[in-house]
Amino acid sequence: MASPESHADEEREERHATHVQFCDEDKDRCVQHLTQQAPPPIRRASRTHSHVPIHYFDREGVLTLTRSISQEIVPSVPPPPSSSSEPSSDATLREEEQAGEEPGEKPFDFENVLKYYVRRREESDIKTRRLGVAFENLRVVGMGSAASFQPTLGSLLNPLGIVSALQRIRHPPLRDILSGFEGVVRPGEMLLVLGRPGSGCSTFLKVLANQRHEYHSVEGNVYYDSLTPEEVYKHYRGDVQYCPEDDVHFATLTVDQTISFAAKTRAPRRRVDQATRRDFKEKVTEVYETIFGLRHVKDTFVGDASVRGVSGGEKKRVSISENLATRSLMTSWDNSTRGLDSSTALEYVRALRIATDLVRNTTIVSIYQAGESLYEIFDKVCLIYEGKMVYFGPASMARQYFIDMGYVPANRQTTPDFLVSVTDPLGRTMVDKEHDERDEDKRNKPIPQTAAEFEEYYRQSEIMKLNREDIDSYKEENVNKHEMVRDYKFSAKQDHARHTRRKSPYMISIFMQVRIVMLRRMQIMKGNFTSQALSTASFTLQAVIIGTTFLKAPHDTSAYFSRGGVLFFSVFVPALFSMSEIPGLFAQRPIVLRHRNAAMYHPMVEALAMTLVDIPFTVVTIAAFGIIIYFVVQLQQTASQFFTYFVFIVVVGLAMKAFFRALASAFPAEAPAQAVAGVLILALSLYTGYQIPRPTMIGALRWISYINPIFYAFEGLMVNEFHTLDGTCSTLVPSGPGYAGVSLANQVCTVVGSEPGRDTVQGERYVSLSFGYSYSHLWRNFGILIAFLFFFLMCLLIFTEITSGQAGESSVLLFKQGSKAQIVKEAEAAVDKEKGEAETSSSTTQQDDRSPEKEGEALEEQPKMVNTFSWQHIKYSVPVSGEEKLLLDDVSGFVSPGKLTALMGESGAGKTTLLNALSERIGTGIMTGDRFFNGQALPADFQGQTGYCQQMDTHVPTTTVREALRFSARLRQPSSVPVSEKDDYADKCLTMCGLDAFADAIVGSLGVEQKKRTTIGVELAAKPQLLLFLDEPTSGLDSQSAWAIMAFLRSLADNGQAILCTIHQPSAELFEVFDRLLLLRKGGQTVYFGDVGKNAQSIINYFERSGARKCGDGENPAEYMLDVIGAGATAVTDRDWHDVWLKSKEKTELEENLEKIHEEGRKHPAVAATVESHFATPWHYQTWILIKRQHLAFWRNPTYLMSKISLNIIGGLFIGFTFFKSKDTVQGNQNKLFAIFMGTVLSAPLGNQLHVPYINMRKVYEIRERSSRMYHWSALCTSQILLEIPWNIIGATLFFFCWYWTVGFESSRGGFTYLMYGVAFPIYYTTIALAVASLCPTAEISGLMYSFLFTFVFTFEGVLQPFHQLGWWRWMYYVTPYTYLIEAIVGQVMGHQPINCSDKELLTLQPPSGQTCEGFMSQYISNRGGYLTNPQATSGCLFCPYRTTDEWMGPTFNIFYRHHWRDFGIFCGYIVLNTCLVYILTYLARVRSYSGVTNLFKKLTGNKKSNTDDS
């Protein structure tokens, strides 16, 4: 297809003429600064951008829409004065069709229609706003140094470190991010911002978009016409917006719903022809979906990483449409083309051009890799060098400006690449004196070298003078113009809905916002129906388990304690489930904050809408939960008691949802919110009043129960249930042998609240004496719950509204502790200077001190490759929906030593698939064809002898660069090579890759280029003997970093390496680096294989000879050939280029070359394997190296270790002081039992903590290290287990010391308790948590599974429901390992101890007349135990049912002292079983490629490939 720029000049003149005509028709209403005076030179120069036709994305759709709008607007409006000489747009369209022309060929029809629409707005006295921006002496100061040391557990606990941290809080280190910026961007202009990563591009865009809160200070003058930044933020925030590089939307909303929602929230009150809001919303949505080619996906989910949705390019256009639908006047787009191929990126910028031209917006864009055609779309360009503005002016003049400065562009180097290259000391080329053709005065000037010199040169240049004139002109026309401010305010006021504050930045009222956001919330929930269904199902399943555990609770006193357990679960489980909402709230926060910044709605409205929409779902879910429990357990069967129970659990469920949402909204990051929530859930459960009644709580902590909503709900449910309960006594004292004829008057019930002479116990008296509850509190408590609900809701709304945003991500380059790296010293020096008001840049750390000489020497020592890799007739297919889909179709080729071969094609052509197939990295599907080395079979250790650099730089983020390379060298080079030699070679690879300055840097903090070099270095350190594969090595890099990586690969090839590399559409400069090219089209079919040639002439000749159009002089050959074969997003072709290839002489030459290679190679011996086994090193050595790496990973992750340690310490102290110095009464012993029980409950959060680091490390193995045959999977499992256990034992030890003596256990019993709790227990929960994680694909799923397994197991351990009442579930009592853990600890630490009943625990009974208490009770005491406090009394016998703890534990809880060593042995058996399960489940779910378990999880989680998948 012909390029849209082919008639750019003609279209530009016509477009300008149209604008002039439009203004001339009604000068009074024309924007003043467009007509009153001639623009200054810089404005004339900046108008030379290329034009993009309005119908670019959807020709047919624009035609239809034009007719629709024409019918609505044009017939009802008298034509303008000039219309007699101009046909209407609709008539023009009809004429085009009749004349046989393709509709929409002339790009002005739709624009004219919109101009009529604008005129109608003006005739209706609806004011139109415009907004430009000018800035003078702009300086941005940030906090923190650019480089620092990686924190470790040691540095965190170091007292000196704590002091320095406090000093940094008081006096934060400051540094200049930007300084000395001046310029102007007017309405209808597009500014391109260029610079290397870290130069300050994102900061510049954010500040121009008036987002200043994350910086220490912003100095200088910024003018939004006559408005100040403060006024814009307070009153017109939605008119100035910043769009981050990631397209973050609600994944389960459709494209139509996303754009429609934006249109609704910013719809103006006054609309043309009195159109309704609904009509306005629908028309705006239709217009943008049509213009940006989104009609065909309007009902498709936007999607994200886990939800299948639209493609990446379409998602970019959704972002543009959403932004335009909000009627933003000025927008900053930050690196929004990241991850897009060049054709999609070009479409994206063309879409921005259309939007800017149509709506007269002000558009500012930063892009890392920009092609020439993309660059030509912009009016102005700003170049940033280390925080300095070194060029701001017309895009058309920038290239010549730097040529005149003394820098020379490389052959076919695009203008944006050239501009960025001059800011890279290693990437720029200065003109030599012999070829210097500049003017004499320019030749005599020194060529700038540093950022400061570049800035000074610019300040003295003519471009700066033009820029200054443009700023002055803008200020004269727009700044301090009260009329403009008045008109702007009047226009904004017209847009505001009724009942909206006129100074509010929001267009619509709170009520309207709530209604609109509630509708969106329902749409989100509808799209995410599976998640809602799973939540309800898990809730229901939990109710079934709890209900059947307490199945048909008897109405006698034996079930009094059990009924309390049921009611405790009824209020606590909804609270526990509410805590699981925290991650979801943080996931949506970036979207809500972006919408707040766009003034679409108040964040609190989203919180309120979520709460209101959740109410019916919560009521239904809790109703199912409550009904199952209530009627399965058979609680009191009266309507009033059931509905009282129901309203209590619904209100407490809603209150706890609001509580945890408010908690999440109060924190800027998820980690601390989850940590606090974990501690609070422990406090809420302990102080509910079930495990420890309020009367027995210690005074210092009793206040917690008064602020615990669950306490009031539990009391309400208890008095509601027990108010009408008069339970028959299940155990009368005395009874049994010898007491058959005893009168009831001489017996008493053992339950608290019993009265002499009665065989029933009033439930109301029981709860009063046991818990201190009163039925009179029932509806008082309900009122308190309602108050808590509204209080938490208010907190949620307030915190949501005032929370400033997310925790900022630091871009600091980190080095290991003790490193003497020069970069750290420079960064510290820069901060010290800043205190003295000096200037430095944020990119200090980006300037690496590479030495080309050292790199060259290291490359010389790299082993040369001598074998030629070839492949023939490769076919690869995968099953899709029951059919075989062919991804590669008969592909052949070869890679020679010393040659750099490119593998290219459009998205979906099969580039990565072919690379994976050739390197044996595909797990499914059917592959046929042959692969050879020198025409002979591949060696057995082919994967070990090749290097594979993946597109995603997957590393352990806490290792240093040197450690990563040495790790690779030690495990992948043969074990016969000494370790010192391996390490020395790894250090040479550091030098070879130009990473000497970053040797001690933490990989996770590296910039994109350094991370990519590390990936290559890790593969080189393995000494690959045969071949190096690379997948998209330049993806995500800026142009200079991309060039640096490709230049490095070129030098590797020149030193004998054989390299096969996939690459997205590169610049002409990058393309010339390659020797050969394999070009694929969609379907995995070959289009070309052969030499690239000088200036790509071989390829160009092939296509031109085969009938393609001529390649333009300045055209990028890579883009040319892709456009020719129809690979561009909008390109078409008139022939089958695969068929052309099959008939070409190049195809014949390839077959002949392959035959020659095979024939010559078969004369020599085949390539031999370098190692005899599957791996280069033995298993024990692998395990030892992995243990060392894992130890460093933990040590350098103090957040993880401190969360582990602090949870143990806080939990130990909290539980210990809750049950502080428990007495030896029955209640005191029960408190000790619950102190032990709650200690074991901590295994839930402690186990959950293990999943994330375990699965993250496993991902590194699965993505990169397994295919490289670095180590056996079992070595990884072993290292993980052996490293987790010591840290968990340390944590459990700290818990033990905080807990054991605080509760009041005897010191003499501490040894065995420590053995069980401090050693065996942490080993158990470590192994079971890792076993669950081994089965699961993600940490989220493993967390859900572990929590469910944990609650399932806990229910049956005999504490919450005593053993003799478990009924059908009794078999689970013997299966759960916690049975043996609890019995071992409780039996040993509490067994053989005396019990001294408190006064209220003593039973009062009357002996028969004439008998003493001792005489009457002696036989019962000898049979059942217990004791009398007044044995000689003849009346009012005070009897304690238990003399020792054994008499209490055995019959009640089935716990016996004598079993503790047996239980220890059984518990150790479970540990062995868990350890075996780690290996078995890892093998079944993660190692066997045909495992159905992983596929099942993928189906359950919706983990499908999206439309954005490449190749």
The type of residue at 1076 is: R
**Local confidence band at 857 (pLDDT 50, 70, 90 cut-offs):** low
Position 341 scores a pLDDT of: 60
SS percent in the chain: helix, strand, coil, step 5: 55, 10, 35
Of 705, 831, 825, the residue nearest 773 (C-alpha): 705
Q: Is the pLDDT of residue 38 over 50?
A: no
Phi then psi dihedrals of residue 333, to 5 deg: -110, 115
Residue 1504 pLDDT more than 50? no
Top-confidence range, 393-397, 422-426, 1265-1269: 393-397
Q: How confident is the model at residue 410 (pLDDT cuts 50, 70, 90)?
A: confident
Lowest mean pLDDT among 578-582, 1180-1184, 1202-1206, 1407-1411: 578-582
| Strand ranges of the sheet holding 217-223, from the earlier edge strand across to the other edge | 217-223, 133-143, 174-185, 388-394, 380-385, 190-195, 362-366, 330-334, 240-243
What percentage of the chain carries pLDDT values higher than 90?
41
Q: Bigger pLDDT: 5 or 1313? A: 1313
- Per-residue pLDDT tens digits for 1314-1341: 999 999 999 999 999 999 999 988 887 8
Phi-psi category of 104—alpha, beta or left, where left has phi over 0 and alpha has psi -120 to 50? left
Mean predicted confidence (pLDDT) in 872-876? 93
Here the tokens at position 439 are 């003017």
pLDDT at 1283: 94
pLDDT of residue 873: 92
Whether the pLDDT of residue 12 is over 50: the answer is no
Cβ neighbourhood burial of 1165 (10 Å; 0-12, 13-18, 19+) = exposed
What integer is the mean pLDDT of 808-831?
73
- Neighbour tally for 132: CB within 10 Å: 21
pLDDT category at 495 given cuts 50, 70, 90 is confident
pLDDT band at 1365; cut points 50, 70, 90: confident
Q: Give the model's pLDDT for residue 804.
A: 58
Residue 459's closest CA among 391, 405, 399, 382?
391
At residue 1496 the predicted structure's pLDDT band, cuts being 50, 70 and 90, is very low
SS3 1311: helix
Confidence of residue 1236 (pLDDT cuts 50, 70, 90): very high
Q: Which of 37-46, 318-327, 652-661, 1089-1098 has the lowest mean pLDDT?
A: 37-46
Residue from 1005, 1003, 1051 nearest 1028 by CA = 1051
Amino acid at residue number 1398: S
The pLDDT score that the predictor gives to residue 1351 is 77
More confident residue, 309 or 661: 661
Whether the Cβ atoms of residue 934 and residue 1157 lie closer than 8 Å to each other: yes
The pLDDT score that the predictor gives to residue 96 is 36
The pLDDT value given to residue 383 = 95
For residue range 338-383, list pLDDT tens digits in order: 656 666 677 778 878 877 887 788 999 998 778 888 899 999 999 9
> Which helix (H) or strand (E) is 702 found in, with range?
helix 699-706
Q: Is the pLDDT of residue 106 over 70?
A: no
Residue 113 pLDDT grade (very low, low, confident, very high; cuts 50, 70, 90): low
Residue 831: count other Cβ atoms within 10 Å of its Cβ.
Answer: 21
pLDDT bin (cut points 50, 70, 90) of residue 1494 is very low
Q: Give dist(CA 703, CA 317) in Å, integer.
A: 55
Q: How far is CA 790 from the centre of its chain?
A: 32
Q: Which range has the top average pLDDT, 917-921, 1288-1292, 1395-1399?
A: 1288-1292
More confident: 1171 or 543: 543
Does 662 score more than 70 pLDDT?
Answer: yes
Confidence of residue 503 (pLDDT cuts 50, 70, 90): confident
pLDDT higher than threshold 80 for residue 780: yes
Mean pLDDT of 1472-1491: 86
Could you tell me which of 1371, 1378, 1370 has the C-alpha nearest to residue 1354? 1378
The dihedral built from the CA positions of residue 1297, 1301, 1303 and 1306, taken in this order, carries a sign that is: positive
Q: What is the mean pLDDT of residues 432-460?
A: 86
pLDDT of 790 over the 90 cut = yes
The mean pLDDT of the chain is 83
Q: Which pLDDT does position 91 carry in this prediction?
A: 35
Q: Which two tokens stand for residue 416?
A: 């944006």
Residue 5 has pLDDT above 60, yes or no: no
pLDDT for position 83: 34
Is the pLDDT reported for residue 720 higher than 80? yes
Residue 1410 has a CB neighbour count (10 Å cut-off) of 8
What number is the average pLDDT over the span 764-793?
93
pLDDT at 862 over 80: no
- Whole-number pLDDT of residue 851: 60
Residue with tokens 């065996």: 1320
How far apart (Å, rounded) are the C-alpha atoms in residues 1219 and 813? 47
- Comparing 76 with 418, which gets the higher pLDDT? 418
- Categorize the per-residue pLDDT at 1412 as very low, low, confident or very high, splitting at 50, 70 and 90: very high
Q: pLDDT band for 76, please (50, 70, 90 cuts).
A: very low
Mean pLDDT of 1418-1429: 91
**In contact, 59 and 408? CB cutoff 8 Å:** no
| Tokens representing residue 545 in the block | 């388990």
